[in-house]
Chain A
Amino acid sequence: GAVVSQHPSWVICKSGTSVKIECRSLDFQATTMFWYRQFPKQSLMLMATSNEGSKATYEQGVEKDKFLINHASLTLSTLTVTSAHPEDSSFYICRAGTGGGETQYFGPGTRLLVL
C-alpha cells in the first residue's frame, strides 16, 4: 500500500525558534498534501491543504504566516512552525493524496514540544 513518511518523529525546541517538518510520499506521487494538528484527547483538525506547485489553502483560524507550507514536488511537502510557542506543542500529521483515491494513509506524525 501507499507509504507516507514524516521527519522528524519527535522534536523539542525553545520558544521563539522555527521548526520544519517534512512529509514524503514514498511510492506514489502526491498531488495534494493535507496537514493536521491534534491536541491531547482531541480529534484531528485540518490546518491546510497544499497542491503541488501552488499556494496552500488554510482553514479558518490557522495563521498562514505562522505555519508555512511548501509543496515544491510531488513527493515532498514541508510545514514550518515559525517562532514556535508552547501553545504550538501538538501532534502534527500529514496525509498525502492523489486524484486516484490513495487518500486513506497518514504519515506517522511528528510530536512537537515547545519549551
Chain B
Amino acid sequence: EDKVVQSPLSLVVHEGDTVTLNCSYEVTNFRSLLWYKQEKKAPTFLFMLTSSGIEKKSGRLSSILDKKELFSILNITATQTGDSAIYLCAVLQGAQKLVFGQGTRLTINP
C-alpha cells in the first residue's frame, strides 16, 4: 500500500528557531514529491522535488529529496509567527495521483 509518513506530527518552537520537517514515502510509480503549506484554506504550493540531492530554496524555506533513502526534509530558518501552519508532504504518482502524508502542525510562539 502506498504511504507517505510525516514527522513530527506536531511541533512548537519559539520565533527565530530553525525547524526541520520530515517526510518519508513508500509509493509505486514515483514521479515527484511536493510540499504544501496549509493555513485555514486550501494548501499553498511550496516546492516540487523530482531529483535527488538538489536543494530548492525560497526565502527562509528550503527542501531536498533523497530518492535512495525515500525521504525529504523541509527546513525553515529564522521562523516567524506567520510560519505557523500545517505543512503537508505529498508524492505525485505516474497517473497524477497525489498521496498525502498526515501533515505536521507547526506552531511558532512569539
A and B: bona fide binding partners: yes
* A80–B13 CA distance with the chains assembled, in angstroms: 41
Q: Which A residues from 58 to 106 make CB contacts under 8 A with B? A: 93, 95, 97, 103-106
Residue A114 lies at the interface, judged by CB distance under 8 Å to chain B: no
Q: Which residues of B contact A103 (CB under 8 A)?
A: 92, 96, 98
A46 at the interface (CB under 8 A from B): yes
> Measured between alpha carbons, how far is A49 from B96 in the docked complex, in Å?
10
Docked complex Cα distance between A113 and B45 (Å): 26
CB within 8 Å for A109 and B41 given contacts A43-B101, A44-B88, A104-B48: yes
**How many residues on the B side are at the interface (Cβ–Cβ under 8 A)?**
19
At the interface, yes or no: B68 with Cβ under 8 Å from chain A? no
Q: Which of A31-60 contact B (CB under 8 A)?
A: 32, 34, 41-46, 49
Bound CA span A109–B101, Å: 19
Is B88 touching A108 in the complex (CB atoms < 8 A)? no
Determine the distance from Cα of A97 to Cα of B43 in the docked complex, in whole angstroms.
15
Residues of A near B103 (CB, < 8 A) are: 43
**A46/B42 contact (C-beta < 8 A), A103-B92, A104-B34, A104-B48 known:** no
Residues of A within 8 A of B88 (CB): 43-44
Query: Does B42 lie within 8 Å of A49, measured CB to CB?
Result: no
Q: A41, A44, A108: which has the most chain B beta carbons within 10 Å?
A: A44
CA distance in complex: A34, B90 (Å):
14
Q: Which residues of the partner chain A approach B43 to less than 8 Å between Cβ atoms?
A: 44, 93, 106
A-B contacts, 8 of them at CB < 8 A, read: A34-B97, A41-B105, A43-B103, A44-B90, A46-B98, A49-B97, A106-B42, A108-B42
Show the binding face of A for B, using Cβ within 8 Å: 32, 34, 41-46, 49, 93, 95, 97, 103-109
19 other contacts beyond A34-B96, A93-B42, with CB at 8 A cut-off? Answer: A41-B105, A42-B102, A43-B88, A43-B100, A43-B101, A43-B102, A43-B103, A44-B43, A44-B88, A44-B100, A46-B97, A46-B98, A49-B95, A49-B96, A97-B96, A104-B45, A106-B43, A108-B41, A108-B42
